[in-house]
A and B are shown apart, each in its own frame.
Chain A
Amino acid sequence: MSQRLTRDALHLNALLDETAHVDGGALVVFGGVVRRQDQGAEIQALDYDAHQEMAQARIRQIEEEILEREGVLACRIVHRWGLVPAGEASVLVVVRGRHRPEAFEAARDAIDEVKARVPLWKEDVHPDGVRAPHPPEAGTPLTPEKD
């Protein structure tokens, strides 16, 4: 699973294998999972739209920034696009560090950066098929990447 954006279900074991590091005393995994209930409404799935090339490039950039940190040995991020049913993961972040403080911090920052910088947009899909797009003002505005 070398891509950063996929339509397929995510497989944690592939990321664990890919990031294996003999000096990594800490392994932190974050998974974002589609909730069945959101603000009182039942959700059947989320439908993610993506600017695919830009999303791949920005996820790679975030991985590189996290890897530059002291004590971080590996960072891999994969996000789904298209329909993601309730109960399935939409994103996985895997960080390996020498010790747990830097690994926890790096994993948290990695998912925060994904949510703020990667061109992905979700739409709620309800069991009756009705779709509820998020309004254009909702979310975090994209800005140019650092020079």
Chain B
Amino acid sequence: MATESETSPSTRVTISLYGSLARLAGSRERELEIQGSTPTVADLRSAIAREIPELADHVSHLAVGIGTEVVKDNAPLDPSLEISLLPPVSGG
């Protein structure tokens, strides 16, 4: 009998980590498997909280970028573009 994980579609995404997040996670990029064929940014947040314990406490403070745009939680993830995790900024 097939298990749920074998039958449910999933999407593999690579996320880029900026600022202090790269240091916290120990790398500039992380890969995540997200359930569903058309996952959203909200699904990404849930997956980060579940799969990347180093970032779990911070995930609610982070903005998510797709390409050059910061997007809302209902935006679909587009794995063909850069998906970035962006902590509060401190330029200037």
Contact = CB atoms under 8 A, between A and B. Distances in A.
A115 B18 CA distance: 16
Interface in A7-66: 32, 48-51, 53-55, 57
Contacts of A57: 68
Interface stretch (A67-75, A97-105, A117-125): A117-125
B92 A136 contact: no
A137 B20 CA distance: 10
Contacts, number: 105
B61 A137 contact: yes
A121 B63 contact: no
B18 A121 contact: yes
A70 to B, nearest CB: 26
Nearest to A90: B92
B58 interface: yes
A121 B24 contact: no
Interface string B54-92: 000010011101011111100000000010101111111
Given A119-B89, A120-B89, A135-B20, 5 more contacts: A50-B18, A53-B82, A119-B18, A121-B18, A136-B61
Interface of A: 32, 48-51, 53-55, 57, 79, 90-91, 111, 114-123, 133-145
Q: Which 8 A-B pairs have the closest CB atoms?
A: A120-B91, A121-B19, A139-B88, A142-B63, A115-B92, A139-B90, A133-B20, A136-B87
Interface of B: 16, 18-24, 58, 61-63, 65, 67-72, 82, 84, 86-92
